[in-house]
A and B are shown apart, each in its own frame.
Chain A
Amino acid sequence: MTPPVIHADSLSKRYRRGALQQTTLLRDHLSRALKSPLSVFRRPKHETFWALKDVSLDVREGEVLGLIGRNGAGKTTLLKILSRITRPTQGWAEIHGRVGSLLEVGTGFHPELTGRENTFLSGAILGMSRSEIARKFDEIVAFAELEKFIDTPVKHYSSGMYVRLAFAVAAHLEPEILLVDEVLAVGDINFQKKCLGKMGDVARAGRTVVLISHSMAAINALCSRCIILDKGSVEFDGSTGEATARYYAESLDATDGADLSTRPRKGNGKARFTSISVQPLDSAGRPLDIAYPGCDLSIDVELNCTSDFAPANLAIIFYDSAGYRVIDTNTAQKGEFVSLQAGQTAKANFLLHEVLLRPGKYLVGLWLGRQIMEVIDHIEHAATLDLIEGEESSQYAIVFPGVYLCRFEQNISVIQPSLSEGARL
């Protein structure tokens, strides 16, 4: 067996909670110092958490390793440590070979500079030498299909052109070890296929790749081995097939038949939700193992009444990861209201058709109340729904911006004879 090109030994990284977005003003320190002068000599206490805990791994030459896991599982932190952007709190790692990392499309691009200038700048920042970029320049421009616009400042580019150029530069990086974070999730589908092809070439050329992706299709297509990270630790390390199967199964666990008695809630407590289960179904009503964009969802809710209440509205609410309310289905919309007496229990079933939300994690919340008059029970996070893009839903596999994945038909025709206009874009 060849020796590992990446060897990591119990890498751990501790962050201060909230440290990532805070901008400190001296004022905060001064006001603290004025309130209790002695505190200046103490290190301020911050809540800390381990973004990564005791992660050990070996990656051998030519291996394409996939890193999967939920948001906040530590995938990006691990990649940032391996690419030396941040340093571990504990543990160590050794990497043998030239490392190129790609954590963002368009690293170092400057809007005022032209495509040509940005190619050199971004290439240099990603680690290419000037002569190397000059040698590959024509190839890069051809790959991006931007020959005509290469001397235009990139601030005039469309987002598609920008991404094409940025990726073309990155794709021509020739390190021995390539570390890639979810960068495939941009651009149009044809260009994505081209990029996947280019990355496949990299893998076949015997280079080592570590790749983060939420796209199981990409992971399945590229990776020979997969690691599942969960809460900063390695949960699984093995074949890609097994890993993706496990990942699917877990995403379902989190949505199933949750006991709600310990959930944080608001409301006067006249009635309380006791359980929720979210079952994905296919279009024929058969239960599915995973939820994917466009499936149906059958949601069962049970509630227990301890004190009589007047007819109330029962709502099931979906929030996306940014906290936006993306779906609000409720009984009032159908002109129905729930009314219970003390000691009664009730069951409710909602069937949601074609949940065409983009892939990702959603919180399912429950609400029972009488509009602004009273809130009886409200649980913001009753269940988690992971919409996963799988091969079976590959027509939705690309994460474009936007919340809703509308089903659509398309028909494109070229109108003659305004050729010159078409050529100008």
Chain B
Amino acid sequence: MASLTASTPSAPLPLHSGASATIRIEPPRSLFEVRLREVWAYRELLYFFVWRDVKVRYKQTAIGVLWVILQPVLNMLVFTLFFGRLAKLPSDGLPYPVFYFAALIPWTYFSYSLQSTTNVVVENQRLITKVYFPRLILPVSAALSGLVDFAIGFVVLSIFCFAYGILPTLAAFWLPVLLLLALFTALGVGLWLSALNALYRDVRYVIPFLVQFWMFASPVAYPSSLVPARWRWLYGLNPMAGVIDGFRWAITGRGHAPGLLLLASASAVALVLLGGLFYFNRMESSVADRV
């Protein structure tokens, strides 16, 4: 709370008017009128949405923020036991706990963001029908609010690596890039799905399968070295393959830099994100009438 009351003096946000004082109201015309500048003008509201998400998420739970640590740790134990010790999948020479934990931290962030981005429009339908703001800030806030969990998980991961004697290398500088890629992937796909979800509630039921399938299509439970070399390029179209491989490499400094795989991923994400922006924007103009 202290951060709120002791606020820094800032220029007052233009009240529901974006930057200019004149608002023009017209029927939706162009498919491509994405108003990113308006999102920027509403950045304070974006901050408040993220803050609300984070605040509410653990408010009623008994152990609160501890869940953020517990979820990936428990997952890691299960993976280590079943995929590691029982199935004896290779781990590229890394200790199983580090191998799985380094993948689960970005994966948990991604899957959480994807799900909350998909549901954010439907969950805020009351708000959407009662007040104006650029709708785009809803999915953006959903994708951002998972970062808090990610940060906490990342600290745990660092302690973990340290305990196993794995020290950061120069490769760690790639982490922000990889995280950004995961964020844009979740946002890009989430934009499509949240707009679709406003139209067809089926999407809500498809999401758990999609997330599960996607996890097995990414090197979370196994190293990507299991994928035959001639299929690598195809595998790279899954941006999360590049992200997770990259994460393991950036944290441990072992294995290969993701290189071309990452480039393919980034291009795929750019396309999905751009399409998602336009599709969401098309929905936005009528979403208050539809949800």
Report which A residues bind B (CB closer than 8 A): 11, 15, 19-20, 23-27, 29, 80-101, 103-104, 107-108, 110, 112-113, 116-117, 120-121, 124-132, 134, 137, 153, 173, 175
Contacts and interface: CB of A to CB of B under 8 A. Distances in A.
B22 A83 contact: no
A89 B289 CA distance: 12
B15 A125 contact: no
Contacts of B48: 120-121, 124-125, 130
Given A87-B285, A127-B13, A130-B10, A121 B52 contact: yes
Chain B, interface size category, equals 35 or more
B75 to A, nearest CB: 26
Interface stretch (B25-33, B209-217, B275-283): B25-33
A15 B59 contact: no
A23 B201 CA distance: 7
B16 A100 contact: yes
A283 to B, nearest CB: 42
Interface of B: 1, 4-5, 7-17, 21-28, 44-45, 48, 51-52, 55-56, 59-60, 127-133, 199-202, 285-286, 288-290
Nearest 5 Cβ contacts at the A-B interface: A98-B15, A127-B15, A84-B132, A129-B13, A124-B48
Given A85-B129, A104-B130, A129-B10, A96 B21 contact: yes
Given A20-B289, A86-B288, A129-B10, A94 B24 contact: yes
Contact of B25 (A88, A96, A98): A88
Contacts, number: 146
A55 to B, nearest CB: 12
A89 B285 CA distance: 11
B127 A108 contact: yes
Given A24-B199, A97-B17, A97-B21, 9 more contacts: A25-B201, A27-B202, A88-B26, A88-B27, A98-B15, A108-B127, A125-B133, A130-B10, A134-B7
Pick from A85, A88, A95, A103 the residue with the most CB of B within 10 Å: A85
Nearest to A105: B130
B258 to A, nearest CB: 37
A87 B27 contact: yes
A128 B15 contact: yes
A28 to B, nearest CB: 9
B74 to A, nearest CB: 25
A278 to B, nearest CB: 36
6 contacts: A19-B289, A85-B128, A87-B28, A89-B27, A120-B4, A125-B133
B56 A113 contact: yes
A130 B4 contact: yes
Contact of B45 (A24, A86, A124, A153): A124
A99 B200 contact: no
A15 B21 CA distance: 30
Contacts of B285: 87
Q: Is the interface of A mostly helix, strand, loop or mixed?
A: mixed
B7 A98 contact: no
Nearest to B45: A124
B59 to A, nearest CB: 5
A125 B201 CA distance: 26
Contact of B44 (A20, A88, A129): A129
B22 A107 contact: no
B195 to A, nearest CB: 13
Contacts of B44: 124, 129-130
Given A108-B127, A129-B44, A137-B5, A98 B27 contact: no
A84 B132 CA distance: 6
B131 A103 contact: yes
**Central interface residue in A15, A27, A99, A127, by most chain B CB within 10 Å:** A127
B52 A113 contact: yes
Contacts of A95: 22-23, 25
B25 A99 contact: no
Nearest to B26: A92
A101 B289 CA distance: 18
A341 B128 CA distance: 61
Contacts of A103: 130-131
B27 A112 contact: no
A112 B54 CA distance: 12
Contacts of A94: 22-25
A110 B57 CA distance: 12
Given A26-B200, A131-B7, A113 B131 contact: no
Contact of A117 (B23, B55, B127, B131): B55
B25 A81 contact: yes
A126 B4 contact: no
